[in-house]
Amino acid sequence: MTSSGDYFDPYEKTNRKIHAFNIALDRAAFRPASKGYVTVVPDPMVESFSNFADNLSMPKNMVNALLQGNPKLFGQALARFLMNTTIGFAGLADPATEFGLPPAQTDFGETLYVWGAREGAYVELPILGPSTERDAAGTLVDFFLNPIGYARNNPADNITAYAEIVQRMGDRGKFADTIDSILYESEDSYAQARVIYLQNRRFELVGAGSETYADPYDDTFPDDTYEDPYAE
Amino acid sequence: MPSNSFTRRSFTATALSALGLAMLPAPVLALSEAGARKLVDTVVAEINRVIASGKSEAAMIRDFEGIFAHYADVPTIARYALGVDARRASNAQLGAFTKVFQGYISKKYGKRFREFIGGKIEVKTARPIKAGYEIRTTAYLSGEAPFEVIFLVSDKSGRDRFFNMFIEGVSLLQTERTEIGAMLDRRKGNIDQLIADLAKVG
């Protein structure tokens, strides 16, 4: 599975239009803003804001861990949240990692996977980028799942959304060369984003260690084993 | 635009693919995990020496190409990247393609050498797979959460070389087959044109 770049993309025509929109948006606004952000703001602060966003996502992770029937992950997310919110200055620092707590990121897309939902078609979402039908549904649910972001009369209205935008700008700026190479130097950036997203997402969900590694020698060395001329 | 799953780890990871590619020494197959770890350390040190040499980027990319050519089964990787079109290519075309592909990979990933400064890769486990061995490693880069890099090694080319790697699940073979396939499509399947253009990339 993890080695598979297979995709199901019946909406490719629409997806490519959204991709073109996302590229235009990145070129005009997100890329320059992000590069400016990481140039002007010192690295430790960029890191702090990223930690802050991670910490705000912990309640969502806790809810999903419960829904997945994963008490261990729930405990890790809870411990992280308590530790980083208190001695981590409201999440700006990350003492939990210093103390060796493993990362505790999950989402409703993963919950759907655990529940047995199928991946569905590949979709590219406006602004948010590559996804699948299952993950797109997950993203929507996560938005409402986060108790902090959704609380009524919350004095810090929308703070989760703002924090995530700032975090994404940090990532976009920090890894600018890599992202630029996918979006602007690739022959077909839509196909590159698709193959990289799907492999990475399947790796996150299923993990590595699949027995289905593509074997380039099957083709190159036909006398290695009995060949099945009908296999390809 | 980054997506949820283009995590910070995977970005750096992708950036480093080729560096990692260069890190698997040849005689791993017959070795124990401990032996593999030692050899990986040797090659990591070799890469670090290139970085520390203070050479120009162009010179470092040349060094990297040498390492890639020596430790990777480039003809097999190139052939896989070409996909089914490799079957209709002449031997001359395959040879020429392999040569420009090697340069293309070296330039594409060699540009990212500096992201590896201060990093290290530790071999975790080794186990047999159909084509050879799977070596799981963890990459530690300064300022990054550790991430998993898997190398696949085989001796089917005649000696032990690696033929694929996965960084956070992203396979070099799959990713490059997609890219080369897109290039070929855009050139209406003209392999000679692909070879000429690939030589200019980077």
Closest Cα to residue A199, out of A184, A185, A182?
Answer: A182
pLDDT band at A138 (very low <50, low <70, confident <90, very high): very high
Residue B162 pLDDT: 82
The 10s digit of each residue's pLDDT in B122-157 is: 778 888 777 777 888 888 887 778 888 888 888 788
Distance from chain centroid for Cα B190: 25
Task: Tell me which long-range contacts A130-133 makes (C-beta under 8 A, separation of at least 24).
Answer: A130/A193, A130/A194, A130/A197, A130/A198, A130/B3, A130/B5, A130/B6, A131/A197, A131/B3, A131/B4, A132/A198, A132/A201
Among the ranges given (A56-65, A141-150, B54-63), the one the predictor scored with the smallest mean pLDDT? A141-150
- Does the beta-carbon distance from B178 to A216 stay under 8 Å? no
- Does the beta-carbon distance from A178 to B12 stay under 8 Å? yes
Q: Say if residue A73's pLDDT is above 90.
A: yes
Distance CA A190, CA A174 (A): 22
In this prediction the pTM is 0.84
Q: B52: phi > 0 → left, psi -120 to 50 → alpha, else beta; which?
A: alpha
In percent, the amount of chain A with pLDDT more than 90 equals 70
Q: Can you tell me the mean pLDDT for A32-36?
A: 94
Query: Which token pair is B28?
Result: 């791993």
Which among A5, A103, A224 is the nearest to B145, CB-wise? A103
Minimum Cα–Cα distance from A185: chain B residue: B202
Q: Can you tell me the mean pLDDT for A28-54?
A: 94
B53 or A47: which carries more pLDDT confidence? A47
Distances (CA, A) of B43 to A1, A21, A91, B64: 30, 43, 39, 11
Query: Mutation test of the interface with chain B: which of A98, A123, A178, A184, choosing the one with the most B Cβ atoms within 10 A?
Result: A178
Architecture of the domain whose range is B3-201: Roll (3.10)
Q: Where are the domains of chain B?
A: 3-201
Residue A153 pLDDT: 58
Which among A175, A200, A219 is the nearest to B12, CB-wise? A175
Are A53 and A163 within 8 A, CB to CB? yes
Q: Which helix (H) or strand (E) holds A123?
A: strand A122-125
Residue B143 pLDDT: 74
B3: which chain A residues are within 8 Å (Cβ-Cβ)? 125, 128-131, 197
Are A213 and B172 within 8 A, CB to CB? no
Q: Can you tell me the mean pLDDT for A119-144?
A: 94
Residue A41 pLDDT: 94
B84: which chain A residues are within 8 Å (Cβ-Cβ)? 232
**How many Å lie between the alpha carbon of A160 and the closest alpha carbon of chain B?**
14
How would you class B2 by CB atoms within 10 Å of its CB: exposed for 0-12, middle for 13-18, buried for 19 or more? buried
Residue A209 pLDDT: 55
Q: Say if residue A20's pLDDT is above 90.
A: yes
How would you class A152 by CB atoms within 10 Å of its CB: exposed for 0-12, middle for 13-18, buried for 19 or more? exposed
ipTM, two decimals: 0.83
**How many Å lie between the alpha carbon of B66 and the closest alpha carbon of chain A?**
22
Buried b (16+ CB within 10 A) or exposed e, A37-54: bbeebeeeebbbbbbbbb
Which among A139, A179, A219 is the nearest to B11, CB-wise? A179
Residue A64 pLDDT: 95
Which among A131, A192, A224 is the nearest to B179, CB-wise? A192
The 10s digit of each residue's pLDDT in A102-113 is: 989 999 999 999
Are A137 and A143 within 8 A, CB to CB? no
Q: Can you tell me the mean pLDDT for A51-68?
A: 94
Q: Can you tell me the mean pLDDT for A162-186?
A: 90
Query: Which token pair is B141?
Result: 């880069």
User: Would you give per-residue pLDDT tens digits along chain B (202 residues)?
Assistant: 444 444 555 555 555 454 444 444 444 445 455 555 666 667 667 777 777 787 888 888 898 888 888 888 999 999 999 999 999 999 999 999 999 999 999 888 887 766 777 777 777 888 877 777 788 888 888 777 888 888 888 878 877 788 888 888 899 999 999 999 999 999 999 999 999 999 988 6
Q: Please check whether residue A139 touches B, CB under 8 A.
A: yes
